[in-house]
Amino acid sequence: MIEATDFRNGMSLLATAVNVVTTEGAAGRYGFTASAVCSVTDTPPTLLVCMNQATRSHANFVENKTLSVNVLGAHQEHISNAFASPLDSEQRFEHGSWTKLETGSPILEEALVSFDCEIESTQTVGTHSVFMCRVVAIKQENAPSTPKPKPLESLQPSNVDIQSLIYFNRAYHHVG
C-beta separation of 15 from 167 below 8 A: yes
* 84 binds a second copy, rule: CB under 8 A: no
* 50 binds a second copy, rule: CB under 8 A: yes
Strand partners, 6: none
C-alpha distances out from residue 113 to 2, 82, 150, Å = 36, 19, 22
Contacts of 23 (CB under 8 A, 6+ apart): 29, 30, 31, 57, 60, 61, 64, 66, 67, 68, 105, 106
* 127 binds a second copy, rule: CB under 8 A: yes
* 35 binds a second copy, rule: CB under 8 A: yes
C-alpha distances out from residue 66 to 7, 31, 53, 138, Å = 30, 12, 16, 14
Q: Which stretch binds a second copy (CB under 8 A): 22-30, 58-66, 92-100, 108-116?
A: 108-116
Give the residue with the Cβ less far from a second copy, 29 or 83: 83
Strand partners, 30: 23
* 146 binds a second copy, rule: CB under 8 A: no
* 94 binds a second copy, rule: CB under 8 A: no
What's the distance, CA 43 to chain centroid? 20
Residues 55-74 as x/- pattern, contact with a second copy by CB under 8 A: ----------------x---
* 158 binds a second copy, rule: CB under 8 A: yes
Binding site for a second copy (CB under 8 A): 1-2, 4-17, 19, 35-48, 50, 52, 71, 112-113, 115, 123, 125-128, 130, 132, 135-138, 140, 143-144, 147, 154-160, 162, 164, 166, 168-171, 173-176
